[in-house]
Amino acid sequence: MSGVIYWGLWLLFRVLGWIFLRFRIDGGQCIPKTGGVIVAANHASYLDIPLLGCAIRRRVVFLGRANLFPNRYLGWALQSLGWIPLKTNRLDRKAFGMALDHLKSGTPVVIFPEGTRTEDGRLQFGRPGIGYLVKESQSQVIPAYISGTFKVLPMKAKWPRLFPVSVSFGKSICFPTRDATTMKQAYEQIGQTVMEHVARVGGTSSPYQGKSYERTRST
């Protein structure tokens, strides 16, 4: 039953996106047709979740902030559709464990490495959680950039505005070997690499531009 609801909502948001937001998808062929894969995207609006979901022609699960939907009934319904509530004040091993199980079973997992929506439309630093997921799963990572949702429904906005929206996918990421003294540092390095690729896909500035790795760790 959840599958019927999922694909019904997938089609609904896709049609509404085409009609009202001139929704466009680029690089969809970068998403493999089978197997577990991590899709890592920027986060600017609540609309990122349904629009990114309907840009992928596979059923996916999302890692999202645990307090995103405080209503427990809504939270239960969304979890049945593939939302994994994530506690962001620490490394939530339970949530990441569920994500790892999905990846091992061949289900794509979507994560927003920044951890929260941007307040000014610019990309933020990647958090260590994406590094942990990549290290533990050894899954390929597809960078994605969502454009326009910050204009449509930015943080603190009460009503959406009409503005063109697009989702662009890039080729899978190769992670260069760097000297990391701790696992946390290794996770942070992966987060940096992912966000740099997300910026490249979107043709925008990386949050790390002009900053050394050590300087970003202290911010």
Structure confidence by residue, pLDDT tens digits, 19-44: 999 999 999 999 999 999 999 999 99
Tokens 């906005």 appear where? 157
Distance of CA 6 to the CA centre of its chain: 18
pTM for the model: 0.91
Q: Which amino acid is at 82?
A: G
CA distance 143 to 192: 12
Q: What is the pLDDT of residue 1?
A: 62
Structural domain containing residue 181: 2-217
Q: Quickly state the pLDDT bin for 218 (edges 50, 70, 90).
A: very low
Q: What is the pLDDT of residues 93-127, one digit of tens each?
A: 899 999 999 999 999 999 999 999 999 999 999 99
With vertex at residue 43, the alpha carbon angle to CA 105 and CA 17, rounded to the nearest 5 degrees, is 85
Structural domain count, the chain: 1
CATH code of 204's domain: 3.40.1130.10
Tokens linked to 112: 């927003």
Q: What is the pLDDT of residues 153-202, one digit of tens each?
A: 999 898 999 999 999 999 999 887 666 678 888 999 999 999 999 999 99
Output Rg (C-alpha) for the chain, integer angstroms: 17
Q: What is the pLDDT of residue 181?
A: 74
